Amino acid sequence: MHKKTLALAALALSAAPAWADHPPVAQQGGRLAEAHGHRMELVTRGTVLEVLLKDEHNQPMPATGYSGKAVVMAPGGKADITLSPDGTMLTGALPAGADLAATVLALKAADGHSMNARFPALQAATPPAADLVAKGKPLYAAKCAACHGEALQGQAGWQAPPGAVKLAPALDATGHGWLHPDTQLAEAIRKGSDPMPAFATEMKEEEIAAVIAYFKASWPAATLAQQPKAAGPAATAVSAAGGGAHHGH
Ligand code: HEC
């Protein structure tokens, strides 16, 4: 499958831009760029910078044989970060305070081609209001913590539940709730999803909003910034700010 993926990616180099059929999607809520038949999604996860490599169909590509660096325009000045392959991504360690910073990537593909991509700074999102967070705290403890965990950590082993069991995911930034806009999170809480009960009748709209504010208060600035603002393909919220890219040889 990887061979075929690579062959397709190689084809895309000579073909007319194929992007139109398969618009780029920010599967991880990150910033997008395209270069040299690759789609790159830049995701800031805590102190780790992740560069996800995808083909023109948004399918993950193995990062084996790729190398490169990221230049992060951190508040204290530029910082060079070495990126190393890790499955379908390249990762590097972010300096403190650089999580929203504009970033330039210089990568060398497995076939020797070099590619560059530029990602503008993330727009800081307004953190949830303190009074709403305070209101959400006891509601969360009473109605959600039994499953999602006292510290928002989710049920043990939720990432890989055994068999068909559904376990409550983490609601902090280690979960995937932040890939959804608030409107979808509210809908998930109203409707429930077996074994999660529906809260539509039990909770008022402003109580649901308060609980969302409570768990969002645990998210780092970059996670808040990468959360889509409105429903629809995650890409629309972020790709508008996505990077321009060019490639060289
Ligand atoms: C009985 C256990 C249980 C309770 C109580 C519960 N949940 Fe859940 N919750 C789950 C499970 C299990 C899932 C995953 C459902 C699925 O995969 O279909 C889930 C999913 C979610 C999701 C979607 C997360 C994502 O990453 O897509 C949100 C948001 C959520 N719950 C919020 C809450 C909130 C807020 C409360 C309290 C008002 C709550 N839940 C109470 C078990 C529970």
Write the pLDDT tens digit of every residue in 31-66. 888 888 888 999 988 889 999 998 888 889 999 999
Q: Is the Cβ atom of 195 under 6 angstroms away from ligand 1?
A: yes
Asked whether the predicted pLDDT for residue 242 surpasses 70, the reply is: no
* CATH architecture designation of domain 2-122+241-248: Sandwich (2.60)
Distance 171 CA to ligand 1 centre (A): 8
238 Cβ closer than 6 Å to some ligand 1 atom: no
- Closest-CA residue, ligand 1 atom 18, reads 193
Whole-model pTM?
0.77
At 69 the three-state DSSP class reads strand
Beta carbon of 193 within 6 Å of any ligand 1 atom: yes
Nearest CA to ligand 1 atom 27: 177
Residue 245: which H helix or E strand, with range? strand 245-248
pLDDT level of residue 77 (50, 70, 90 thresholds): confident
CATH architecture, range 130-216: Orthogonal Bundle (1.10)
Q: Residue 17: its pLDDT value, please?
A: 42
Amino acid (one-letter) located at 166: K
Which has the higher per-residue pLDDT, 24 or 211?
Answer: 211
The better pLDDT of the pair 135, 54 is held by 135
Q: How far is the CA of 228 from the centre of ligand 1 (A)?
A: 19
Tokens 């999602």: give the residue: 148
Atom in ligand 1 nearest the alpha carbon of residue 179: 26
Q: Which of 144, 150, 185 to mutate to test the pocket of ligand 1 (most atoms within 8 A of CB)?
A: 144
Atom of ligand 1 at shortest range from CA of 203: 38
Digit-coded pLDDT (tens) for 175-233 = 889 889 999 999 999 999 999 999 999 999 999 999 999 999 999 888 999 888 876 54
Which protein residue's CA is at the shortest distance from atom 26 of ligand 1?
177
pLDDT value, residue 167? 94
Q: What is the C-alpha to C-alpha distance for residues 24 and 169, in angstroms, rounded to an integer?
A: 27
CB 99 within 8 A of CB 221: yes
> How confident is the model at residue 164, as a pLDDT?
82
- Our answer on whether the CB atom of 68 is closer than 6 Å to any ligand 1 atom is no
Give yes or no for residue 29 CB within 6 A of ligand 1: no
Å from CA of 223 to ligand 1 middle: 19
**Ligand 1 and 190: CB distance under 6 A:** no
- pLDDT value for 168: 96
Q: Which of 150, 196, 227 for mutating ligand 1's site (highest number of atoms within 8 Å of CB)? A: 196
Q: Decide whether any atom of ligand 1 lies within 6 Å of the 216 Cβ.
A: no
Mean pLDDT of the chain: 84
Domain ranges of the chain: 2-122+241-248, 130-216
pLDDT class of 11 with cuts at 50, 70, 90: very low
Phi-psi region of 36 (alpha: psi -120 to 50; beta: other; left: phi over 0): left
